[in-house]
Amino acid sequence: MSKDCNTIHQWFNGMKKHSFSFNEQEIPENGIYILFEKGEFAHSTNRIVRIGTHTGNNKLRSRLKEHFVNENKDRSIFRKNIGRALLNKNNDPFLKQWELDLTTKKSKEKYFKNVDFKKQKETEKRVTKYIQDNVSFVVFQVDDKNKRLEIESKIISTVSLCDECKSSKNWLGNFSPKEKIKESGLWNIKELWKTPLSDKEMIKLKQMLNIN
Ligand SMILES: [Zn+2]
- State the pairing for strand pair 135-141/18-19: antiparallel
Residue 61 to residues 77, 168, 172, 206, Cα–Cα distance (Å): 16, 29, 25, 23
Ligand 1: distance of its center to the CA of 9 in Å? 7
Ligand 1: distance of its center to the CA of 24 in Å? 29
Band (145; pLDDT cuts 50, 70, 90): very high
Give the other-Cβ count within 10 Å of 172's Cβ.
22
Identify the three-state secondary structure at position 74. helix
pLDDT at 1 over 70: no
Ligand 1: distance of its center to the CA of 44 in Å? 10
Ligand 1: distance of its center to the CA of 49 in Å? 10
For residues 192, 142, 35, 96, the Cα torsion angle rounded to the nearest 10 degrees is -60
Ligand 1: distance of its center to the CA of 5 in Å? 4
Ligand 1: distance of its center to the CA of 10 in Å? 10
pLDDT at residue 63, as a whole number: 97
pLDDT at residue 207, as a whole number: 97
pLDDT at 162 over 80: yes
Q: List CB contacts of 151: < 8 A, sequence separation 6 or more.
A: 32, 142, 197, 201, 205
Instruction: Kindly state the percentage of the chain with pLDDT values over 70.
Output: 100
Residue range 72-90, pLDDT digits in tens: 999 999 999 999 999 999 9
pTM (two decimals) = 0.96
Ligand 1: distance of its center to the CA of 51 in Å? 13
Residue range 97-144, pLDDT digits in tens: 999 999 989 988 888 888 999 999 999 999 999 999 999 999 999 999
- φ, ψ for residue 137, nearest 5 deg: -155, 160
Q: Are 13 and 136 in contact (CB under 8 A)?
A: no
Q: Is 36 exposed, middle or buried (0-12, 13-18, 19+ CB in 10 A)?
A: buried
Identify the three-state secondary structure at position 52. strand
